[in-house]
Amino acid sequence: MDDCATPREKAIDLMKHRDEGEFYNQGEICEVLQDCVEEIHRWESGQYARQSDVNRINQIDQLANFIMAEVDGEPSENEGAVECAIRIMKEQKHTIDFLKERRKIGQKNNREKIFFNKR
């Protein structure tokens, strides 16, 4: 077993080899389980944060900074950056849908004018 592997990788390796008909001795299995338990305790104690959590927090911070710097009048409500972004996008979609509908009505009216003027 690779000593540099994470406890999770070691456990997966054990399972894979077990499925292939290989077996480890009880001492090796206990060592991997102990490593897994220690790893779980480190996560639960917050000893180190998951990189995905750090990335997510950084992205939310970037979103909040963008909204405050680039969107006039925002934040206008007491809400987080994600909720604010969702609200802004919904408002923009509503405006776009409204304008598309108005354009359709305008095109229809223009066709009717052309049709009636040809007669």
pLDDT tens digit string along 32-59? Answer: 777 777 777 777 776 666 667 778 888 8
Residues 38 and 62 placed together within one structural domain of the fold: no
Residues 108 and 58 placed together within one structural domain of the fold: yes
- Taking each helix axis as running N to C, give the angle between helix 26-44 and helix 7-19, from 0 to 180 degrees, rounded to the nearest 10: 140
The domain containing residue 80 runs over which residues? 51-118
Q: In this model, does residue 6 exceed pLDDT 80?
A: no
Residue 38, in any domain of the structure: yes
Number of domains within the chain: 2
Confidence of residue 94 (pLDDT cuts 50, 70, 90): very high
Q: In this model, does residue 19 exceed pLDDT 70?
A: no
Residue 1, in any domain of the structure: no
Q: In this model, does residue 96 exceed pLDDT 70?
A: yes
Distance, in Å, from the CA atom of 34 to the CA atom of 40, rounded to the nearest integer, reads 10
Is 0.95 surpassed by the pTM of this model? no
The alpha helices in 20-80, defined as continuous H runs, are: 26-44, 51-70
Residues 62 and 114 placed together within one structural domain of the fold: yes
Residues 86 and 64 placed together within one structural domain of the fold: yes
Distance, in Å, from the CA atom of 31 to the CA atom of 115, rounded to the nearest integer, reads 85
Q: In this model, does residue 108 exceed pLDDT 70?
A: yes
Residue 2, in any domain of the structure: no
